[in-house]
Amino acid sequence: MITVPTSPAELEEALADPGKLEALWKDPDVLKNYMQGYADNFAKADKGDALEQVRAQVLGELDTRVQAEVAKYLKDHPSEPAHSVAAKISAGRAKSPNTPAGRALYHPGALGAKLEGIFDSSGELFQAFYGSAAIRAKLAGKRAKYESIQNSFGSEVPDAGGFLIPEHLRSEILSVALETAVVRPRATVIPMDSLRVPIPMIDDTSHVSNVFGGVQWYWTEEAAALTESQASFGRIVLDAKKLTAYAAVPNELMQDAPAFSGFLEAKFPQAISYGEDVGFFTGTGTGEPMGFINCPASVNVAKETGQPAATIVWENITKQYARMLPTSLGRACWVAAIDTFPQLATMALSVGTGGGPVWIGSGYDPGNSGSQTPPVTILGRPVLFTEKASVLGSPGDISFVDLSYYLIGDRMTMQSMVSEHFLFSTDKIAFRIIERVDGRPWLQSAITPHNNSSSTLTPFVQLATR
């Protein structure tokens, strides 16, 4: 039997007990009765508008103490039994496995996973290496334990002179970065246990007489000999590149562990995701990822005859849609530079001597359309506006892409390097985070469809220069 609390203090004490939490989550009916019993007890103890007060009190405490963590955890672990949630929350870990969307966050095989549990926060970790002498002395024991584990890695650590970031912090940084990234949340992420990983691919360029680079089909009489065919395979090599995020941090911020943790966990994820996206969009493949814009598998749809420079017309959009692999239409999205918005908002479909707007207009109140939120889809597929896409009028200003065909190789290591001397005169610490990552399209060329149309198909469709 689990005693039902009668006050907020008793509820707080119960929620802080991992054993009680686990018992509650084993059976949804037990949890429901537990919370209903608490609400009844609270109502009996309070007068006035009890119902509204109970709602506010119970929901408020659930939101702040349980609901947010449980919702996040269940989202990251949709297949995990509910009774294991409490134990994981009490351990302070919300480790996200790979999902079909391609998110590689926490990985138990990463080098940094060996460093878990030594420091209480990211701020304390950095203070142990770069804080004041008094703070470093206070944290000397934790630092020694940390260094003894890290030193055992030997040559596996990406660079000398810094220290490896524990895996839970790396996964948290990437988790926050997912909120601002365009490519990583939608790509296929491959964990890399070495600096170079070959990924098998099917050398598929035409479906006119076969699929998968050589698999053919035949109608065969009963008992007749079968004709052999086989797929043609190749490989893509993911070669981890070094991506660095740099900042100058005031010395006072470094000495305040909570403040520095907030800075690290808020700003560096944004910087890292921004740098990754730029490479995944437009990288050349030399010393950086191969971007999906103008990659060998991309298709540039030609402009319309007489189309003015730096414009987008409805015919461009429909022809882009027609070049997408049919199997990708349910996953594809539009990625557009923000400066394309005026063109998209004023696109019109000509019908004889008339016509009308095709993106903004349908379902809008003509007298009040300027105050309404614009649509977030084109032809039923999401539109993502970003400043990382190409400038209006150039290839990549608006792309129609299925990013599940984009591979990201994640080395699963993130390292910090800090200099106390570079900005000594301004009392700042030069700080940078280094990660190893690569990215490139899975397909190496557009595909000729079975009907032998000259309009090849691809998961990466752009508009040609206008």
Please name which of 242, 148, 237, 157 lies closest in space to residue 196, comparing C-alpha atoms. Answer: 237
Task: Spell out, as residue ranges, where the chain has pLDDT lower than 50.
Answer: 47-75, 77-104, 154-160, 362, 364
From the centroid of its chain, how far is CA 291? 16
Please name which of 284, 286, 248, 282 lies closest in space to residue 267, comparing C-alpha atoms. Answer: 248
**pTM (2 decimals)?**
0.64
Give the pLDDT confidence score for residue 466 in this predicted structure: 94
- Alpha carbons 420 and 425: distance in angstroms, whole number: 10
**Tokens 């190409």 appear where?**
390
Give the pLDDT confidence score for residue 76 in this predicted structure: 52
Do the Cβ atoms of 6 and 40 come closer than 8 Å?
Answer: no
The pLDDT tens digits of the residues spanning 59-79 come to 444 444 444 444 444 445 444
Give the pLDDT confidence score for residue 134 in this predicted structure: 81
Tell me whether strands 398-401 and 196-202 are parallel, antiparallel or unpaired.
Answer: unpaired
- Structure tokens of 34? 């537990």
Task: Write the CA distances from 57 to 7, 17, 29, 50, 305, integer angstroms.
Answer: 10, 20, 21, 10, 65
> Under DSSP, is residue 41 helix (H, G, I), strand (E, B) or coil?
helix
In the DSSP assignment, the letter for residue 81 is -
